[in-house]
Amino acid sequence: MASVSSSPSDAYSEGLGGFLESLAASHGSLGHPQLCQRPCVHMAKRGSCSLGSACRFCHDTHSKAPLKMEKAQREIMQAMRKEDVRTLLIPHIQKRLQQLELTEKAASLLLLFGQELYSDVQHAFKDINQRDLSKLNRFLARLPLLALVKYFPSTSPTTVDAQLDLLRSELDQQRALMQGVVIQL
C-alpha cells in the first residue's frame, strides 16, 4: 500500500526512495545551486549542522553570498502592479530554464505562470526610468532560478512549490549523471 505524503517534497523524497537526497548534503541542498534554499548558517559558522541531511537549508558550498536588491530596486518592484512584475520576470525565468536545459520539464510551471495576468510590455514600464529598469534587469539576470520564481507573484504558491520540487529532482538527476551515478526509477 502506498504511503500518503504530507507535502510535495515528502512525495519527492519517497518517490525516489531517498536516493537523490543522499546525494545532496541536506534536504535544502536539492537543486543546488539554482533551486537550493539559502545557505545554512550553522554550516557557515561551525562547519556542521545538528539537523544533518534533514536541514531545510543548503549545506553545499556557495561561492558568493546571496544577491540582494538595492533599496531603489525594491521600491520600484513594490510600486509595480503584479501584472507588470510578472511581465518583467517571465523572460528571466524562461532564460534561466533554457540555460539549465529544464524548459521541457518546466512546461507545467510555465503553463501555470502563463495563466496569470500580464501587462502589455509597451505600457508596463512606461512610468519607470529606463536607466532604473536596465539596472533592475541586470540584477534579475544574475539571480538563481529559485529567487526569480520567489519574486514572481503567483496565485498558486503551493502548486509552484510542487513544480519546483520536480525541477529539483531533474537537476539532481542531471548532477548525478554528470558524477557518473546511474539512477533507476
Instruction: Give the separation between CA 12 and CA 106, rounded to whole angstroms.
Output: 16
Q: What is the pTM of this model?
A: 0.77
One-character DSSP codes across 8-66: HHHHHHHHTTTHHHHHSSSGGGTTTTTT--PBPHHHHHHS--TTGGG-SSB-S--SSPP
At 33-71, the pLDDT tens digits run: 888 888 899 988 888 899 988 999 999 888 877 788 999
At 103-118, the pLDDT tens digits run: 999 999 999 998 887 8
